[in-house]
Amino acid sequence: MNRPESRPSGGGRSGPSQDRGPRINHQIRIKEIRVIDDEGKQLGVLATADALALAVHKGLDLVEIAPNQRPPVCRIMDYGKYKYEQKKKDQASKRKQHQVQIKEVRVRPAIAEHDIGVKMKQAREFLAAGDKVLICCLFRGRQMAHKEVGEQVVRHVVELLSDVARVEVPIRMEGKRMVLLLTKK
């Protein structure tokens, strides 16, 4: 029976993972650190054991906030509360972000003026929301012989939206479709 060779312990990693967050309490192994107390006052350079004892006395944690400084800067704080606040900040910033999407508005070479008005109202809403709008003119059958009619419709759409949008990608043919990309001014 063949057995796989045993690997050295540690899983072959080249060092500790950097995405675990700051070191806290007994994870701080350096002799001397610069300490900031829970009220924001600088206590100066202290021995790590003394700073840890002070944090334990106050019922808080000793958290390394600037590990690359010499000596490293540590703060006495409630680490659980700190992590909770960071999580809330991250969630709030994600909520404020808007992913730009490309919204498609389809028109036809034989579209009525009222239908163009309805489509343009929809396109204005997309542009106001910060999205890009792809104007797509679809051709069927014999309409391909008169591409200039579809091009006139697309140019009319650009005129109607010229106050809120600008052309990002000019008119081009993609098979039986004529497309044009608009973005917010």
The pLDDT tens digits for 127-170 are 998 899 999 999 998 888 888 999 999 999 999 999 999 999 89
Q: Residue ranges of the chain with pLDDT lower than 50?
A: 4, 6-17
Class of domain 102-184: alpha beta
Query: Fold identical between 25-93 and 102-184?
Result: no
pTM: 0.52
- Assign 148 to helix, strand or coil: helix
State the pLDDT at residue 182. 92
Residue with tokens 């700051």: 22
Q: How many CB atoms lie within 10 A of CB 92?
A: 9
State the pLDDT at residue 12. 46
The domains of the chain are located at: 25-93, 102-184
Contact 67, 51 (CB under 8 A): no
CATH number of 25-93: 3.10.20.80
